[in-house]
Structure 1
Amino acid sequence: MKPSHLMLATMLAWPFAAQDAQARSLGQMLDRSGLAPGDIAVMETAALDLVAPLGRTGDARRWSNPESRSKGAVTLGRIEGNCAELVHRVATVRRPQPVTYRTWRCRTENGTWQVSPGPE
């Protein structure tokens, strides 16, 4: 696994340390995705723009990384309680057909948005 993908897999999986298999499969998914290290940061910025402050279902942000020529969009999906589903559509040079990934963010007691398995 490439170091950047390991970093993202760790970032996404740290709240679920008990779910080691999930972290491994996420890392494999990212490795196959063709995402470059800078893509992750641009995707993260677009996702945070949708939840801080929390937008409305259907709101979307496009992103692109000129260095890697990757591009995509993130759309705010379902909102359940203090959690929001983010739907990522990603196209890379290695995988020009867009691929969809779904993640959840939940607002913590201190107001930050943390990657989560979803609403409880």
Structure 2
Amino acid sequence: MKRLVVPVLIAALAAGIAATGVAANPLSKTLRKTGLSPEDFDIMRQAASVLYVPAPQPGKSVTWSNAKSGSHGSAQLDRVDGQCVVVDHRVHPKGAEKAEQLKTRLCQSGDGRWLLMP
């Protein structure tokens, strides 16, 4: 399995780009490298949220898919570190047979929102 190092900020920006249509070179390059679309990132993020909302559940996993792109994957809550969680993603961009690994780190803010962190 190939391990990709993708800044967590990229995932947050990808969701924003899907909504606004605005693109920056670093993000577009990162999205090309992963093979996932901004919509894929958003679906992946939404699916993973059930692992830590309303309370983190280490070891729990979920699957997701995007019929439009053919991308699919799974997410597992790897660990809880104080107010933060680390989610391990296995993604199959555009239906690829071989999974790519992504990790995201999210921390709960004082107002209860979960924010992607580096």
Q: Identify the residue that residue 44 of structure 1 maps to in structure 2.
A: 45
Alignment of 1:15-94 (within 5 A): 28-93=29-94
Large movers: runs of 4+ above 2 Å: 8-13, 24-30, 93-96
> Which residue of 1 is the match for residue 18 of structure 2?
none
Structure 1 unaligned segments of length 5 or more: list them.
1-7, 14-23
- Offset, 1:101: 0.6
Give distance in 2, aligned partners of 1:81 and 1:50: 15
TM-score scaled by length of structure 1: 0.72
**Gaps (5+ residues) in structure 2?**
1-8, 15-24
Deviation at 1:27, TM superposition (A): 5.4
Map Cα deviations across residues 40-88 of structure 1 (whole Å, 9 max, x no partner): 2211111211111123211111000111110001110110100000111
**Fraction of identical pairs, as percent:** 33
Residue 89 of structure 1 aligns to a residue whose secondary structure is strand
Q: Choose between structure 1 and 2 for higher RCO, CA contacts under 8 A separated by at least 6 residues.
A: 2
Structure 2 counterpart of 1:99? 100
Aligned residues of 2:56 and 2:85 also touching (Cα < 8 A): no
TM-score of the superposition, structure 2-length normalised?
Answer: 0.73
Count of aligned pairs:
101
